[in-house]
Amino acid sequence: MRTQVLPRRRYAVRSESLQVELVSVGAAAIGCLASCNANAQ
């Protein structure tokens, strides 16, 4: 039972970390676009 539960937890942590990375990258991209628009104007 334990051997089956551990991989699931690891996969869950991986998916959460990937989501956090995507959100951080998205926020950085939005910030870059905002700064580029501000510089253009």
Q: What is the pTM of this model?
A: 0.53
The overall longest dimension of the chain from CA atoms, in Å, is: 60
pLDDT of residue 4: 61
Could you report the per-residue pLDDT of 1-41, keeping only the tens digit for each? 555 666 666 667 777 888 888 899 999 999 988 998 888 87
Tell me which amino acid residue 25 is. Answer: V
Angle at 36 between CA 34 and CA 39, to 5 degrees: 110
